[in-house]
Chains A and B, each alone.
Chain A
Amino acid sequence: MSAVARLARVRELALAGFIALLVIVIAAQNGDFLSGSNLRSILLDITLIAALASAQLMVMLTRNFDLSIGSTVGLSAVTVGMICQQHGALPTPLAYLVAVAVGLVVGLVNGFAIARLRIPSIIFTLGMLSVVRGAVYLVADGGQVNSEDVPAGMTDLATGGPFGIPPLVLIALAVALAAFAFLRWTRSGRNVYAVGSNPDAARLHGLPVSRTVVLVFALSGAVAGLAGALYLSRFGFAQITAGSGLELTVIAAVVVGGASIFGGSGSIAGTLLGCLLLGVIGNGFAVLGVSQYWQDAAYGALILLAVIADARLRAVRRPARSAAAPKEATA
């Protein structure tokens, strides 16, 4: 166990080193990269991704995927925006609460279908991706959320803040910290790892396997709902396509952050580093004048590299454990 943990920590260090190298290379080409305003824009860019990825990590730890988060972000953003448009501005905390509630509903539907009916999560959430997007269309009713509909209290969260760090970033950071504490110190959090590394053993051990799966999907939905409110705060408007395609970026961040797609292994620290790497690459492209059109290709290549690295590490780890002992004995 400790050997695996050590290896995981080394991977995070390697990732951090890679990011540092990338930052040095980009900064050497263009000094503006390290300016305060550019760093703040990187932070703002990865805010949504970081919150979503912290929740997606929990889902992926249990060997599942949640592809519906992009649509859920859109649904919660448009729902909150439409309520404000028709009934006047909501107080900011209430707006955030409504957003979380919307997401939670979607998450619970996902969780129950996947855990109780035993439907493969990737397929079910792929279906939900389009059903929820259809719901966005219904809620928007042909319109969209314009900048004058979004309460000033919400958009203010994207500016100012202590040390020039906008409150929006702090909210995302709080989500990540909460996820970290949950995974590390609570019984349910440990169950998430147990269920993911060996579902059969977890069941035989008496752990609530399907309740854990429902829980992670509910959390993923709730965070996606919250991210919808963050979206409104950040951009100040929402079209019916809001948040589409986010799921891919988020999964890329989690996988690049070292979480195994076979469940049971991955950390919040790694996931945040993964988000940072994607943010630095996306921003670096803009700073270096590389066409933004290459961004998708780069993310795709990163996902592939990360899963190949994961598979290689497993291949190295497994024979090393079983073959080491006899070799030592003969020597």
Chain B
Amino acid sequence: MSSRAARRFAFSHEAFTVVLLVVAVVVVTQLSPYFLDAQNFSQIATDSLEIGLIALAMTPLIVVREIDLSVGSTLGLAAVVFGELASHDVPLLAAVLATVATGALAGLLNGLLVTRFGLSSIVVTLGTMALFRGLANAIVGDQTITTLPDSFTASDTRYAIGTLVTIPHVLFALAALAAALLLHRSTVGRRIFFAGSSPDVATHSGVRVDRLKVGLFVASGTLAAIAALFMTSRLQSVRADTGSGLELLVLTVVLLGGADIRGGRGTIFGTLVALALVGVVRSGMALGDLPDQARVAVVGGLLLLSICAGVAIEALRRRAAERRTTRRIRGGAELRPTPTT
């Protein structure tokens, strides 16, 4: 790493998140003797899967200046659709496909409302958050569906490697790799950053910003539906409130990972580090027997911390850049642009 790249990393949000992760691991290790355990890490990975999967789509959405608050409700609706079909003896594959299609359609609705009518995605997805949750409620009411096929609910315990790495772990790793390549190593990814940092210029340069956004909303809905499948197979039951409040966790992970809510910045790497951080914190709270309400509050606190840190890091970075400029001038260097080497 050149000194310039090192400096850029040191002042990045990702570095801050890595530090937080280390601190969290040290603290939780001190608090509980059961934390540093391979089985526990496997459990953390399993618990973080659904959040992580949705965060993979939320990161580019935030980069392109949009947001999807309906992901928790989309997950709920997809889970309910799957539960209804699977418990009525529809073939498993057909039920899975219908579930994924439900998520994709939900995302398509969001995307079209945002791009066709020029609406703010915050309000649109706040509306669809209520709409999708309402539909899930209307379908199952206060029932809990537990009559799911064994072949499906047992899939979570099918291990890929040894007794630690499950098939969902492997699928998530592949999805994360694909998302990272797509966002950071492909033309589509460059267009996403382009559209996020200067939408007008991107539009005038021939980037089809609207189409890009619709695609990302569809991806968000689809991944929420796949997360619904993972969650259903893990919990072995479906209720109308499945996945409610999940949007908060996903947003926390993405923002904590350094994505800028104003668009144009964000990395899959940062999101993954933040995912690990939130996973460790949640595991620590579970080991400490903290009740649900308190856990939600801690996650909310993390979200606030991550935004305030973003503001502080931005200020620090600006000040460091200014100081470098002053030093160069005071140091007798002539006032000319620094050679780019």
The answer to whether A and B assemble together is yes
A residues near B (Cβ < 8 Å) are 65, 113, 117-120, 122-124, 126-131, 133-138, 240, 248, 251-252, 255, 261-262, 291, 293-301, 303-304, 307-308, 311-312, 315
A218 to B260, CA, bound (A): 27
A136 to chain B, nearest CB (A): 7
- Known interface pairs A120-B261, A127-B307, A248-B126. Does A300 touch B297 (Cβ–Cβ under 8 Å)? no
| A to B CB contacts below 8 Å, 7 in the list | A122-B122, A126-B303, A130-B301, A131-B301, A137-B293, A248-B126, A291-B141
A117 to B120, CA, bound (A): 23
Mark the stretch among B132-140, B179-187, B229-237 that contacts chain A: B132-140
Closest to A262 in B: B120
A298 to B134, CA, bound (A): 8
A130 to B255, CA, bound (A): 16
Assess whether B131 is interfacial by the CB under 8 Å rule: yes
Assess whether B17 is interfacial by the CB under 8 Å rule: no
User: Contact string, B101-125, partner A, CB cutoff 8 A, digits 1/0?
Assistant: 0000000000001000111101110
Q: List, in ascending order, chain B residues with CB within 8 A of A240's CB.
A: 293
B117 and A308: CB pair below 8 A? yes
B303 and A303: CB pair below 8 A? no
Interface residues of B in 230-255 (CB under 8 A from A): 240, 248, 251-252, 255
- Interface contacts beyond A261-B123, A297-B134: sample of 19 additional A-B pairs, CB < 8 Å, sorted by A: A119-B307, A123-B307, A124-B307, A127-B300, A127-B301, A127-B303, A248-B126, A251-B126, A261-B122, A293-B134, A293-B138, A294-B134, A294-B137, A294-B138, A299-B134, A300-B134, A304-B113, A304-B124, A307-B117
Q: List, in ascending order, chain A residues with CB within 8 A of B262's CB.
A: 120
Q: List, in ascending order, chain A residues with CB within 8 A of B128's CB.
A: 300, 304
Closest to A255 in B: B123
A297 and B117: CB pair below 8 A? no
Assess whether B298 is interfacial by the CB under 8 Å rule: yes
B residues near A (Cβ < 8 Å) are 113, 117-120, 122-124, 126-135, 137-138, 141, 240, 248, 251-252, 255, 261-262, 291, 293-294, 296-301, 303-304, 307-308, 311
B303 and A65: CB pair below 8 A? no
Kindly count the residue-residue contacts between A and B in the assembled complex, taking CB atoms under 8 Å apart: 133
Closest to A134 in B: B297
A134 and B134: CB pair below 8 A? no
Closest to A252 in B: B130
Which residue in B119, B141, B251, B300 is a CB contact (below 8 Å) of A131? B300
B134 and A307: CB pair below 8 A? no
Identify the interface centre among A118, A295, A303, A304: most chain B CB within 10 Å of its CB: A304
B123 and A307: CB pair below 8 A? yes
Q: List, in ascending order, chain B residues with CB within 8 A of A113's CB.
A: 304, 308
B318 to chain A, nearest CB (A): 14
A294 to B138, CA, bound (A): 5
Q: List, in ascending order, chain B residues with CB within 8 A of A248's CB.
A: 126, 129-130
A137 and B294: CB pair below 8 A? yes
